[in-house]
């Protein structure tokens, strides 16, 4: 499948042939959902914590005598039913990660790339480079390109001027090709790949 290549200013710069095994799949929502869920679970810190009754700093003495008060038989003020007591079955520090086969993760990335191409939200540029690290200049270029919400994927090494210029533009992310992932692809409206990124992705999925 051939796709037009443009410059950052929106000018034509030839064509590139895209592999059907990477960009020509029929997107499956279930695989994309599994991948996004896996990514978000790995991002969770899991540091939420409440104190149980064994961790509360209160006296261990019996609250009142066993019989004769007409009240229930309580022993410890650390019990969950009392104000200041421990939390029953509260959250503990844990990892939220769960397994997902490597083949499914690889397939999900190809489905995400194919989904962007199918939605006509994939743009290929000749290179992601800027003459100087000026946000205003890059913003003007992106307006000509018709991009306001996008993920930019460069080659193995990002152009430092482009990276610095893009940092302050809202709804724009820049990643090297080895950092490409399903969640970031789907959360942005457009996917902008450099020619070097296309070559690296097709080499990766050979």
Helices and strands in the chain, H and E counts: 7, 6
pTM for the predicted model, two decimal places: 0.84
Mean pLDDT, residues 58-83: 94
Mean pLDDT, residues 162-183: 95
- Residue 13 in this model has a pLDDT that exceeds 90: no
- Residue 113 in this model has a pLDDT that exceeds 90: yes
**Mean pLDDT across the chain, nearest whole number?**
94
**Banded pLDDT at 206 (limits 50, 70, 90):** confident
Q: Which helix (H) or strand (E) holds 193?
A: strand 190-194
The pLDDT of residue 11: 85
The pLDDT of residue 9: 83
- Residue 12 in this model has a pLDDT that exceeds 90: no
**Banded pLDDT at 150 (limits 50, 70, 90):** very high
Instruction: Take residue 70 and report the two structure tokens written for it.
Output: 């007409």
Is 26 exposed, middle or buried (CB count within 10 Å of its CB: 0-12, 13-18, 19+)?
exposed
Neighbours of 151 (CB within 10 A): 22
Neighbours of 188 (CB within 10 A): 19
Cα angle for residues 167, 172, 174 (degrees, 5° grid): 70
CA-to-CA distance for 117 and 111, rounded, in angstroms? 10
Backbone angles phi, psi at 132, to 5 degrees: -145, 155
């Amino acid at each position: 499948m051939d796709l037009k290549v443009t410059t950052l200013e929106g000018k034509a710069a030839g064509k590139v042939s895209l592999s059907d095994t990477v960009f020509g799949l029929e997107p499956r929502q279930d695989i994309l959902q599994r991948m996004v869920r896996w990514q978000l679970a790995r991002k969770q810190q899991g540091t939420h914590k409440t104190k149980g009754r064994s961790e509360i700093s209160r006296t261990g003495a019996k609250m009142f005598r066993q019989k004769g008060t007409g009240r229930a038989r309580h022993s410890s003020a650390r019990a969950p039913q009392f104000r200041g007591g421990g939390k029953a079955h509260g959250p503990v520090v844990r990892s939220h990660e769960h397994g997902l086969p490597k083949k499914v993760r690889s397939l999900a990335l190809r489905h995400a790339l194919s989904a962007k191409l199918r939605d006509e939200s994939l743009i290929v540029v000749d290179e992601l480079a800027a003459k100087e690290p000026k946000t205003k200049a890059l913003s003007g270029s992106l307006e000509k390109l018709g991009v306001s919400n996008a993920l930019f994927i460069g080659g193995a090494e990002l152009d430092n001027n482009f990276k610095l210029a893009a940092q302050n533009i809202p709804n724009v992310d820049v990643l090297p090709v080895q950092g490409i992932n399903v969640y970031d692809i789907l959360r942005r409206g457009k996917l902008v790949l450099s020619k070097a990124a296309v070559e690296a992705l097709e080499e990766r999925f050979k």
